Chains A and B, each alone.
Chain A
Amino acid sequence: KAGVTQTPRYLIKTRGQQVTLSCSPISGHRSVSWYQQTPGQGLQFLFEYFSETQRNKGNFPGRFSGRQFSNSRSEMNVSTLELGDSALYLCASSLHGTDTQYFGPGTRLTVL
């Protein structure tokens, strides 16, 4: 069974731009969670989607948003990029959200 895939793997943007990241979960998994990882803050939860509905949200500004499609694929969007948004963005999928989450390789976003 294929693992979690994320595209693109690397992205360079400038301040003020917006970006969309994509995540394809493991087949059959209905829950997709997004995390931001930085050296200073570690792994921080952004939000979780289950059956196209956002079920949980972390403490991030409204510039960070997401959605999930009927095939469970998910996208996250960051608008008006700031330098501090430079990070590794990780997506994880699980069957129900309360069970084990499996991570993708991440998208490395650099904001210049």
Chain B
Amino acid sequence: GESVGLHLPTLSVQEGDNSIINCAYSNSASDYFIWYKQESGKGPQFIIDIRSNMDKRQGQRVTVLLNKTVKHLSLQIAATQPGDSAVYFCAENDGADKLIFGTGTRLQVFP
């Protein structure tokens, strides 16, 4: 499939290590945030979400942290696996029911 972005920031991690992907959001009125994973040739796949009344949420091997003071979101992936290689997008719901996507980060997992 075609690359979703030719000049994306890239995070390279070794298999088994933890990954942290960061995202700065723009709208202080945004109240809902989502992380998506997009593999080559596929549509974005929902990973985890968090509402603005929380600062942390955990899923299976993933944790999202929200810092509203500095408008920062992070996705932590524990024990990163080759299947985690993809482009990761954060998205904010701006309160007007539109998703605003970040530019994405490419995660590369090497053995």
Q: How far is the CB of A2 from chain B (nearest CB, A)?
A: 14
Q: How large is the interface on A (under 10, 10 to 19, 20 to 34, 35 or more residues)?
A: 20 to 34
B99 touches A33 (CB 8 A): yes
Contact partner of B32 among A37, A55, A98, CB < 8 A?
A98
Q: How far is the CB of A33 from chain B (nearest CB, A)?
A: 7
B98 touches A48 (CB 8 A): yes
Q: 4 more A-B contacts (CB under 8 A) besides A35-B99, A108-B2?
A: A39-B6, A101-B34, A103-B36, A105-B43
Q: Which residues of A contact B76 (CB under 8 A)?
A: none
A39 touches B3 (CB 8 A): yes
Contact partner of A100 among B4, B7, B46, CB < 8 A?
B46
Q: How far is the CA of A97 from the CA of B99 in the complex (A)?
A: 9
As a 0/1 sequence over residues 1 to 16 of chain B, the CB contacts with chain A under 8 angstroms (1 = contact) are 0111111000000000
Q: Which residues of B contact A105 (CB under 8 A)?
A: 41-43
Contact partner of A90 among B5, B43, B102, CB < 8 A?
B43
Number of interface residues of B (CB under 8 A): 27
Q: How far is the CA of A43 from the CA of B90 in the complex (A)?
A: 11
Q: How far is the CA of A106 from the CA of B99 in the complex (A)?
A: 17
The B contact surface, by secondary structure, is loop
The A contact surface, by secondary structure, is strand
B2 touches A103 (CB 8 A): no
Q: How far is the CA of A55 from the CA of B98 in the complex (A)?
A: 10
A58 touches B98 (CB 8 A): yes
B49 touches A100 (CB 8 A): yes
13 inter-chain pairs at a CB distance below 8 angstroms, sorted by A residue, are: A33-B99, A39-B2, A39-B5, A39-B7, A42-B102, A43-B44, A45-B99, A88-B2, A90-B43, A92-B43, A97-B97, A102-B46, A105-B41
8 shortest A-B CB distances, which residue pairs? A103-B43, A43-B101, A97-B97, A103-B44, A39-B6, A105-B43, A106-B43, A45-B98
